[in-house]
Amino acid sequence: MEIWPTDLDYGILGFEFEHPIRGRIKSKAEDFVVTEVDPNTMRAIPRPPKEMYEHGDGGGLYLGARVWKKNIDHAKMEKLLAKTFKVPTNAISTAGIKDKNAITTQLFTVYQPRKVIDPPLQIIEGMEIDGFARYKERMYPGRMGGNSFDITIRETEGLTQEKLDNFAKFLDNGIINYYGYQRFGGYRPITAEFGRLIVKKDYHGAIDLYLGGKSAGYDEIYREMWRDNHDPDELLMNWDNIPAIEREILIYISKKDDYFGAIRKMPEFLINISKSAFISLLFNNYTSRRGMDMELQRGERIIEEKIPSIVNSRMVENIEVAFPSKRWEVPLNDIWADVFDKFNVDVKKELREFKHNSRMLKLYPVDFEGMVLDDETALVSFQLPSGAYATTVLRELMQVIPVKMV
């Protein structure tokens, strides 16, 4: 049986745009093109910002370059770069994680590479690097000005140029800045719930979910086998092409009834991403309940934000929403209290490890343009700031089940 997640699984509610075009994205990699944006010019960036240079292009500890990839996920990209430069994967830094099923161009830095190569270089088919120079600083999340998107939407319904033009006007007022579907696992959105169980120190529950959480992919038959029997040896024997993490967990718990130890067998980055995804899910649930009303709640403040359009830059009012963190002794307002109740979270005891952070309530896409290519196909282009999701914009325009967008 197919298991398709819905918006509710991501803490997202409702639509505002009245004339959706339906359709699907990512039918092929060429349909989803992402390029990082220079924070100064708001154009596709050829190399890191000039403030990262060390006396021009010499003397820095970091080697910086661009990487172009197609149908390659972020973890694989990092491993390939580390192998190319003969460094550990933690020596590779980027400004953000890009989609796998896409064509993406982004910057990276390598700390003290042990091998020097001549650009441009094709690492493997579907991955190339160029534009080498030395820098004094590493790349880090949020370093760039955002991302530029060129996205083809296929199999639309009732597509007209008027709808696309009206959507561009609709975006002038902003939309709720939801975390996008990719944040939570796409076809198998267990990431946030896995993070919640880790936060609550329910390690048995977390491993049960990781192995047996429902999937919309080929692996559902094996996930169901775990849910039915909880037999690691049976699953190891029957699971064809078992993923490496699942294999290591199953081997461990087949020998020891130690679920905390099994969690420790998982990559640290995956644990951290999952806990962060849980906070993101709390934010989505908070903003779904709150809406875009400009009346401030406790834990919020008004921000004057510049929308750096190439065509027409402008200033807008936005609201900065504080995330739950170790600073909180109690929920800061009634909306947060409802969200914590829903997820059975004690903010004082269980969120102490999280540092203070915040996110803007509204998202203002920059320079949205839509073009009808044929009766059922549209091309849309726009830019978003760092940390924002193209699927958050497209869900309003398309209004389809999430699987058609991941």
β-strands 300-307, 22-24 pairing: unpaired
The closest alpha carbon to 182, from 74, 290, 266, 77, belongs to 74
**What is the mean pLDDT of the segment spanning 294-303?**
96
pLDDT band at 2 (very low <50, low <70, confident <90, very high): very low
- The yes-or-no verdict on residue 116 having pLDDT over 60 is yes
- The yes-or-no verdict on residue 402 having pLDDT over 60 is yes
Q: What is the rounded CA–CA span in Å between residue 339 and residue 320?
A: 18
Given a contact cutoff of 8 angstroms between Cβ atoms, the answer to whether 405 and 22 are in contact is no
Average pLDDT, the chain: 90
67-111 tens-digit pLDDT: 999 999 888 999 999 999 999 999 999 988 888 889 999 989 999
Report the pLDDT value the prediction gives residue 50, as an integer from 0 to 100.
52
Pair (119, 51) in one structural domain: yes
Q: Is 305 inside a domain boundary?
A: no
CATH code at position 246: 1.10.1510
- The yes-or-no verdict on residue 63 having pLDDT over 50 is yes
Q: Is 105 inside a domain boundary?
A: yes
Q: What is the rounded CA–CA span in Å between residue 361 and residue 175?
A: 8
The residue from 222, 251, 269 where one domain ends is 269
Give exposure, 67-79, as e/b (b: 16+ Cβ within 10 Å): bbbbbbebeebbe
Q: What is the rounded CA–CA span in Å between residue 253 and residue 262?
A: 7
- The yes-or-no verdict on residue 389 having pLDDT over 70 is yes
CATH code at position 83: 3.30.70.3160
Q: Is 61 inside a domain boundary?
A: yes
Report the pLDDT value the prediction gives residue 153, as an integer from 0 to 100.
98
The residue from 240, 269, 298 where one domain ends is 269
Q: Is 262 inside a domain boundary?
A: yes
The residue from 135, 151, 167 where one domain ends is 135
For tokens 């699942």, name the residue.
246
Given a contact cutoff of 8 angstroms between Cβ atoms, the answer to whether 294 and 317 are in contact is yes
Domain that holds residue 252: 191-269
What's 403's DSSP letter? G
Q: What is the rounded CA–CA span in Å between residue 320 and residue 195?
A: 24
The pTM assigned to this predicted structure is 0.89
Report the pLDDT value the prediction gives residue 57, as an integer from 0 to 100.
47
Q: What is the rounded CA–CA span in Å between residue 210 and residue 194?
A: 7
Given a contact cutoff of 8 angstroms between Cβ atoms, the answer to whether 182 and 102 are in contact is no
β-strands 377-384, 147-156 pairing: antiparallel
Q: Is 117 inside a domain boundary?
A: yes
Report the pLDDT value the prediction gives residue 295, as an integer from 0 to 100.
96
Of 50-54, 67-71, 313-317, give the lowest mean pLDDT range: 50-54
What single letter denotes the amino acid at residue 362? K
228-273 tens-digit pLDDT: 999 999 999 999 999 989 999 999 999 999 999 999 999 888 899 9
368-378 tens-digit pLDDT: 999 999 999 99
Pair (130, 199) in one structural domain: no
Pair (198, 265) in one structural domain: yes
Report the pLDDT value the prediction gives residue 52, as an integer from 0 to 100.
52
Q: What is the rounded CA–CA span in Å between residue 38 and residue 18?
A: 34
DSSP H helices in 53-144: 74-85
The total domain count for the chain is 2
Q: Is 202 inside a domain boundary?
A: yes
- The yes-or-no verdict on residue 54 having pLDDT over 50 is no
